[in-house]
């Protein structure tokens, strides 16, 4: 049996002089930690989804920037900053949808540009900033979890909550966004059951959300994505909470492919549909969700199940990794600053955004 990972789970950890990533491509069967010492390896780890989930990608990219800063050999400040920008571009080219990646790279670049000291001083401040981004993210997730308690429907019965993909500790620096709400509801004694959509094609729900719930002793039922509507029709779901990869200024939210269908089903059954995400996931530069870049991934994610090729030769594939749920379907966005109607996100939160 695979060794138990430490609980709570921290998927991106700074360790003396390198980063340790939990290899999420191998969970739940194997609990492997990958050591990352170079920015190029961090870019590959993000692209291949060893580390995944919007806030976790942001934290990983921040450490990638620091690792990259150590690879630059010049002591000339301007040349250093220019090369650092190039490293930011390499990291930014890995996954286009999660805005936390660009947010973290931009915060790291601003720190470097704003430091008038030597290259050594800048490198030291970059490491401090990456560590701060990671620890802030855990605190942010805990605040999201706390605010999430306020959206739980008042009922003498314990609640059944449905989620899609994995927005848990693994997808953040720790604790999770949507699963942060689940954890808080569980601790408060308000939760009966989590329904986890398996989340084709990569099965983050069946593999990662289910694994996290089992680690915490939270009752979890995995369903195939196509079963969510049926479960809602049967009255089995009280509430839907999902994460997000990028939220536009008007409250439209991109999340794992299939989230939009869940939101439509929830609307049809009058079940509240919430998005839980930190401020770093809101892209105030995009007026609406149609402008969110949607990553397309390799078709093998669709036709390969383990070593098995499940489709006949000659088939074409389309594999968008995310979809956009229109703000009109979202009851509220749970952030570290409270719960907001999608239409209020810009007016209430833009002034708080850092980078
Ligand atoms: C707190 S994580 C929110 C989202 O990043 C999550 O729901 C999701 O869609 C992750 O997609 P992934 O492709 O696994 O990186």
- CATH number of the CATH domain containing 229: 3.40.50.10470
Is 185 a domain residue? yes
**How is residue 245 written in tokens?**
């990869």
Q: Are residues 172 and 297 in the same domain?
A: yes
Q: Are residues 272 and 338 in the same domain?
A: yes
Is 7 a domain residue? no
Q: How many domains in the chain?
A: 2
> 165: CA distance to ligand 1 center in Å?
7
Q: Are residues 17 and 88 in the same domain?
A: yes
* Rounded CA separation 116/107 (Å): 16
237 three-class SS:
coil
Q: How high is the ipTM of this complex?
A: 0.99
**Which numbered atom of ligand 1 lies nearest the CA of 165?**
7
For every one of its 355 residues, what pLDDT tens digit does the chain have, with 9 covering 90 and above?
Answer: 344 455 679 999 999 999 999 999 999 999 999 999 999 999 999 999 999 999 999 999 999 999 999 999 999 999 999 999 999 999 999 999 999 999 999 999 999 999 999 999 999 999 999 999 999 999 999 999 999 999 999 989 999 999 999 999 999 999 999 999 999 999 999 999 999 999 999 999 999 999 999 999 999 999 999 999 999 999 999 999 999 999 999 999 999 999 999 999 999 999 999 999 999 999 999 999 999 999 999 999 999 998 999 999 999 999 999 999 999 999 999 999 999 999 999 999 999 985 4
For 110, the domain range is: 12-142
Average pLDDT, the chain: 96
Q: What pLDDT score was predicted for residue 354?
A: 59
Closest CA to 243 of 159, 140, 116: 140
Strands 246-248 and 282-283: parallel
CATH number, residue 121: 1.20.120.420
Q: Is ligand 1 within 6 A of the CB of residue 244? A: yes
For ligand 1, pick from 55, 141, 255, 319 the residue to mutate: most ligand atoms within 8 Å of CB: 255
> 337 and 352 in contact (C-beta within 8 Å)?
yes
CA torsion 294-98-45-137 (nearest 10°) is: -170
Q: What pLDDT score was predicted for residue 138?
A: 97
Q: Is ligand 1 within 6 A of the CB of residue 167? A: yes
Q: Are residues 135 and 149 in the same domain?
A: no
Q: Are residues 100 and 124 in the same domain?
A: yes
Is 1 a domain residue? no
Is 262 a domain residue? yes
Q: Are residues 113 and 203 in the same domain?
A: no
Q: Are residues 151 and 133 in the same domain?
A: no
Based on the residue annotation, tell me whether 344 is a catalytic residue of this protein.
no
Q: What pLDDT score was predicted for residue 1?
A: 36
Is 5 a domain residue? no
Residues belonging to the chain: 355
Active-site residue identified among 197, 245, 283, 323: 245
Give pTM, 2 decimals: 0.96
Q: What pLDDT score was predicted for residue 8?
A: 78
Q: Is ligand 1 within 6 A of the CB of residue 335? A: no
The Cβ of residue 336 has, within 10 Å, a number of other Cβ atoms equal to: 24
CA distances from 232 to 103, 199, 229, 238 (A): 36, 17, 5, 8
């Amino acid at each position: 049996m695979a060794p138990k990972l430490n609980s709570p789970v921290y998927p991106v950890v700074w360790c003396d002089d390198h980063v340790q990533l939990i290899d999420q491509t191998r969970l739940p069967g194997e609990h492997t930690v990958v050591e990352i010492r170079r920015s190029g390896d961090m870019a590959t780890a993000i692209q291949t989804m060893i580390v995944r989930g919007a806030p976790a990608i942001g934290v990983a990219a921040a450490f990638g920037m620091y690792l990259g800063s150590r690879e630059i050999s010049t002591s000339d400040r301007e040349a250093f900053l220019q090369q650092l920008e190039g490293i930011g571009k390499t990291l930014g080219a890995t996954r286009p949808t999660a805005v936390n990646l660009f947010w973290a790279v931009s915060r790291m670049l601003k720190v470097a540009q704003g430091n008038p000291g030597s290259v050594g001083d800048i490198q030291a401040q970059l490491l401090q900033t990456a560590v701060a981004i990671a620890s802030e993210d855990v605190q942010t997730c805990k605040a999201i979890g706390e605010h999430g308690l306020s959206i739980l429907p008042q009922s003498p019965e314990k609640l059944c909550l449905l989620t899609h993909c994995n927005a848990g500790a693994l997808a953040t620096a720790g604790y999770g966004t949507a699963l942060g709400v689940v954890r808080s509801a569980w601790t408060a004694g308000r939760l009966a059951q989590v329904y986890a959509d398996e989340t084709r094609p990569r099965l983050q729900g069946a593999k990662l959300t289910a694994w996290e719930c089992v680690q915490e002793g939270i009752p979890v039922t995995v369903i195939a994505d196509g079963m969510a509507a049926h479960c809602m029709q049967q009255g089995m779901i009280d509430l839907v909470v999902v994460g997000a990869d990028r939220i536009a200024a008007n409250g439209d939210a991109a999340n794992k492919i299939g989230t939009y269908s869940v939101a439509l089903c929830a609307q049809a059954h009058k079940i509240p549909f919430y998005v839980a995400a930190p401020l770093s996931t809101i892209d105030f530069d995009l007026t609406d969700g149609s402008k969110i870049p949607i990553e397309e991934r390799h078709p093998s994610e669709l036709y390969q199940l383990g070593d098995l090729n499940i489709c006949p030769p000659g088939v074409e594939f389309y594999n968008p990794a995310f979809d956009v749920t229109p703000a009109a379907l979202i009851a509220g966005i749970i952030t570290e600053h409270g719960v907001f109607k999608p239409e209020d996100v810009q007016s209430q939160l833009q002034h708080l955004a850092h980078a």
